[in-house]
Structure 1
Amino acid sequence: MVLSSSATPGQTLPSHFTLLMMQRRHRGSNLGLILLASQIFQIGLDNIPPVTLATLGVNVYLFLFPAAPLLSACVSVQTAYWHRDWRRLILSPFHHVDDWHLYFNMASLLWKGIKLERRLGGAWFAYLLSVFSLLTGSMYLLLEAVLTEVTGDGSYSMQCAVGFSGVLFGLKVVNNYYHPGGVTHVMGFLVSNRYACWVELVLIHIMSPGTSFVGHLAGILVGLLYTAGPLKKVMKTCADFVTSSRPSHVYYNSSGPSGRYNPHYYPSSDGQPHTGPYPQPLYQHPYTAGMSDAEQYDAAVRASLNDRGGRQTYGFRVASDPNLEEIRQRRLQRFATER
């Protein structure tokens, strides 16, 4: 995230000078866009999972065709809370100051997104990005409000931030959670992955004072809420409620670029993909539910073959039940006699 310069407590708007200078950089040579395109083609579009690619595309599109000027997209306590302009929580993560700001954030998204989307599956990763985008901005507002209250300095409430890097810090925490161990290079230093986000938080702020320390810290705290706090459980509960209200239990494998249907693939309640047969009982389908006589007969034959050979058909399995088995045998005998 990048901050505008703060205003004095008597001002009603943040100082415009820094953001106006950044907007001029936005109209430059766009070398960052060229480098980003080169990196994408080096990786290969087929090797970038769909949700990661779509998120990258949205960021690039909004850089070229902003939904709002930077001064109307950045988020601060003053603009979002005092003036009740809550749409900034949605706009701010997806707008960038210049092409280099966009390049570094999207290059980081490519690396993290490829690893996490393949681990979690496309649906859960999209869910994670949506929640993190909103919560990072909300956490940023909370931290800035607390700093204003503790220090008595109203300028904290007027610091306006944009960019995807806060979300990326949260994703880094999640990535380290799912891929523990190892070390990473942080500006020439070898650092354990467990502490890399904290080292980056400090070093980036020291080397680039214009970046938002509070915005990056907000991302780390949201990531910790997911890995060590209640956020993942809350997300699972909400996801279970939504999926339980659907009539179908068919899931799609979004871990690869094609996103094709795989009848032996399903996400768990924590978003991690699993392969193999569905846990039983998963889906009960009474034969009389809208089926013709011929369809009931075919379904009974398929279920009987499943029981004998342990094979699954069409991605669902009828729960074994003594009464259901008895009904099935009677139907088989009746249809065999009629035919």
Structure 2
Amino acid sequence: GNMPLGTRLMLGINVGVFVVGGCVPPSWSLSYREAWKHLCISPRVIYHRPIQVYRIATSAFTHGGLIHIGFNMLNFVQTGPALERGMGTLRFVHMVVLLILVLGVLYLSLAAAALFFSEPRFFNECAVGFSGVLFALLSIEAYSAPPGTVMNVFGNQIPAKWYPWAQLLLCQLLIPNASILGHLVGILGGFLYQQGSLRMVMLSPSMARTLEDT
């Protein structure tokens, strides 16, 4: 069927940012070569310059190359539509925006905790990409599946609740320089969302219907 509006919107923003980065002069901060340095989520930069907290949002829509965005968007259009059709466009878009913010807070918090325990790697990291949101959506899909549901990982059937963790391990094996913390907070954020821990800031079905009817 046709791709739902919310999925198209998020896909369009991601692709649009990437295309603009390829069209502007290379010296510009929005250019393909420079954007990741100015828009990535970097705990060190944000803690020293809190005004750059906007990086929580900009990092999600910035990608490091054609393969990076291609892989992420291919996965997004496979996962997003089913979730959107199940919950409605308004709730889906609200969920994605909320997840971006929650994942950013989790990322900064865990990076600071790691630094406290003498592991500076995550604090100094400069991460970009939509994959944190993708892992959150995978997590929501897996943890909302009925008991006994199995999912397929390269021909192997595994319980749904282990699916995001299998994908995390697989991703790190295939792409060793991927941000494991970014993917980990995606799984945690999706779990929190699905368990209702973010209920106070979630858009309820009744509220969504009211807004859609106005």
Matched, 1:82 2:48: yes
How large is the RMSD of aligned CA atoms in angstroms?
2.4
1:47 paired with 2:2, answer yes
Q: Which runs of 5+ in 2 are unaligned?
A: 22-28
Partner secondary structure for residue 124 of structure 1: helix
Q: In the alignment, what sits opposite 1:29?
A: none
Query: Match of 2:24?
Result: none
Which residue of structure 1 lines up, in the alignment, with residue 141 of structure 2? 175
* Alignment map for 1:5-20 (pairs within 5 Å): none
Could you say if the C-alpha distance between residues 249 and 76 of structure 1 is closer, same or farther in structure 2, counting changes exceeding 3 Å? Answer: closer
What is the aligned partner in structure 2 of residue 145 from structure 1? Answer: 112
Percent identity over paired residues: 32
The runs of 4+ residues in structure 1 deviating greater than 6 Å are none
Aligned-residue offset at 1:250:
6.5
The CA deviation string for residues 7-36 of structure 1, in whole angstroms up to 9 with x for no partner, is: xxxxxxxxxxxxxxxxxxxxxxxxxxxxxx
Asked whether 1:215 is paired with 2:182, we answer yes
Partner of 1:11: none
Deviation at 1:249, TM superposition (A): 4.2
Partner SS, residue 224 of structure 1: helix
Which of 60, 65, 86 is the matching residue for 1:119? 86
Q: What residue number does 1:162 align with?
A: 128
**Counterpart of 1:156 in 2: which secondary structure?**
coil
Pairs within 5 Å for 1:260-275: none
**1:82 partner letter:** H
Paired amino acid for 1:76: S
CA distance in 1, matches of 2:152, 2:171: 13
Matched residue of 2:212: which SS? coil
Greater radius of gyration (CA):
1
Q: Does 1:251 align with 2:212?
A: yes
2: CA distance, partners of 1:198 / 1:126: 25
**Cα distance, 1:50 vs structure 2:** 0.3
Distance 1:51 1:132 in 2: 14
Per-residue displacement from partner, 1:277-321 (whole Å, max 9, x unpaired)? xxxxxxxxxxxxxxxxxxxxxxxxxxxxxxxxxxxxxxxxxxxxx
Alpha carbons of structure 1 residues 249 and 137: separation in structure 2 relative to 1, 3 Å: closer
Rounded to whole Å, the distance in 2 between the matches of 1:113 and 1:156 is 28
1:229-285 CA-partner distances (Å, limit 9, x unpaired): 521x2124xx46xx59xxx94635xxxxxxxx9xxxxxxxxxxxxxxxxxxxxxxxx
How far apart are the structure 1 equivalents of 2:115 and 2:176? 20
5+ unaligned residues in a row in structure 1: which ranges? 1-45, 253-260, 262-339
Relative to structure 1, the CA distance from residue 251 to residue 201 in structure 2 (aligned partners, 3 Å threshold; closer, same or farther) is same
- Output the CA distance in 2 between the equivalents of 1:138 and 1:47: 34
Distance 2:74 2:168 in 1: 18
Using the size of structure 1 for normalisation, the TM-score is 0.55
Decide whether the 8 Å contact of 2:132 with 2:182 is kept in 1: yes
In 2: Cα distance, 1:71 partner to 1:137 partner? 17
Does the residue aligned with 2:53 lie in a helix, a strand or coil?
coil
Q: 2:101 matched to 1:134?
A: yes
Q: Distance in 2 between matches of 1:190 and 1:63?
A: 36
Query: C-alpha deviations, 1:104-139, integer Å up to 9, x for none?
Result: 111111111110000000010010000001111221
Aligned to 1:110: 77
| Residue 65 (structure 1) aligns with | 20
Maintained 8 Å contact 2:143/2:160? no
Name the count of aligned residue pairs: 200
TM-score w.r.t. the length of structure 2 is: 0.85
